[in-house]
Amino acid sequence: MLALLNPEQQMFEETANRLARDLAVANTADLKTVDRANAYRQLAENGLLALRMRIEGKPLASGVEVSLAAQALGGALVPAPFSASGVLAVELLALAGADEALIQELSEGTKRCGLLLKRDLSALADVADAESVVWDSEGAELAIGLDRSKGEGQSALVKLDSGFETVEAADLTRAMMKRTGAVSAEPVGSPLSDADMRKWLALALVTASADLVGVLNGAYAGVLAYTKERVQYGVKIGSFQAVQHLCAEMLVDIEGGRDIVSYAAWAVDELDPDAALLAAREAKAFLSGIARPVSETVMQVYGGIGQTWEHIAHIYARRAQTDALVFGGADVQRDAIADALLGGH
């Protein structure tokens, strides 16, 4: 593994960060005024929705580029369905050999597709699951899940114009829908092999983990700047040793998470599906494990202002807690890691 980004990846990271800053949610008021349609259009125009399109069977970009984009967008709390529609729906359809026209529409941003997940967000849901939800559903016309009646790895599309309704979600930057009635499902592509399903899940876990790295780093950067401005007892609170220790501990956790996600992102396309999935599970277990303590520490360092509805800290905390659950939290990943390493015994 090359531990450093190559020049092209560095340029891509700079572009993603610059775009994310332009589309950032800087305060709670932005959630009501931000032009979400324009944000998604900007992602499409800058090619971020086409990262996993195939040319002669090979993705245009690797898991590393997906991770860099997810970190940038997560850190800026960009309210656009990059993960679900722009990356994971495209990947699932490509692996299934689905109609290229639909993949093209998703990659161009002219159509959106949410992910049909189990109620606890831990995995793709079966289209027959009456308690399923659609995650990252902003502007989506379709959702993709599994139709196990047609085969264990058979993906299927459901239309969202009936049988679903939008609900309030903990994450205020990404939309959620719940199942409310009967839906019609249409199988799409060929059933995925076990290897392809593991490959897709590895990318899904990396994408969620990378978003979480970005979210936690964005929250940390904000509170670190605050410690250099807030004066208490006649001095800036950043001079207090207790505050310094809290910030140092957060930084150690976040940078550790960044490193482990970097390896998992590289592994998505460079290692076999089992090894890639193991690396992705390790990343998700670590990041899900630090999501709550880092979020709580951020709010602690802000003090009373960090507990108010008007403050941005809780927007970061809400997105972090949702990321921690998507595709399985720390306990789910640790159990799966134990099974993989111990042979299920």
* Residues 301-324 pLDDT 10s: 999 999 898 999 999 999 999 999
Judged against a pLDDT cut of 80, whether residue 336 lies above it is answered with yes
Q: How far apart are CA 46 and CA 29, in angstroms?
A: 26
Q: How far apart are CA 262 and CA 143, in angstroms?
A: 29
Residue 6, token pair as written in the block: 């190559």
What burial letters (b/e) apply to 195-231, b meaning 16+ CB within 10 Å? ebbbbbbbbbbbbbbbbbbbbbbbbbebbbebbeebe
Q: How far apart are CA 254 and CA 146, in angstroms?
A: 34
Q: Name the pTM for this structure.
A: 0.96
Euclidean distance between the first and final Cα of the chain, in Å?
Answer: 31
- Of 46, 56, 54, 50, nearest to 20 by C-alpha is 46
- Of 268, 144, 261, 142, nearest to 201 by C-alpha is 268
Strand partners of residue 157: 144, 186
Q: Where are any strands of DSSP class E within the chain? A: 54-55, 58-59, 113-117, 133-135, 142-146, 155-159, 164-167, 176-179, 185-187, 231-232, 235-236
Instruction: Give me the pLDDT at residue 344, please.
Output: 59
The count of other CB atoms within 10 Å of the CB of residue 263 is 16
Query: Under CATH, what is the fold of the domain 194-342?
Result: Butyryl-CoA Dehydrogenase, subunit A; domain 3 (1.20.140)
Q: What is the mean pLDDT of residues 150-172?
A: 95
Q: Which uninterrupted H or E stretch holds 291? A: helix 273-302
Helices (H), 169-272: 194-227, 241-270
Tell me if residue 110 falls in helix, strand or coil: coil
DSSP state of 58: E
Q: How far apart are CA 250 and CA 8, in angstroms?
A: 30
Q: What is the pLDDT of residues 12-24, one digit of tens each?
A: 999 999 999 999 9
| Lookup result for tokens 């997810």 | 70
Q: How far apart are CA 117 and CA 132, in angstroms?
A: 6
Q: What is the pLDDT of residues 267-286, one digit of tens each?
A: 999 999 999 999 999 999 99
The count of other CB atoms within 10 Å of the CB of residue 35 is 11
Q: Residue 174 in contact with residue 250, Cβ under 8 Å? A: no
Cα separations in angstroms, 253 against 34, 96, 157, 181, 202: 31, 37, 38, 43, 22
Residue 335, token pair as written in the block: 């159990």
DSSP state of 191: P
pLDDT confidence bin for 343, thresholds 50/70/90 = confident
Residue 262, token pair as written in the block: 């970097």
| Lookup result for tokens 């015994």 | 345
pLDDT confidence bin for 128, thresholds 50/70/90 = very high
Instruction: Give me the pLDDT at residue 345, please.
Output: 52
Domain ranges of the chain: 194-342
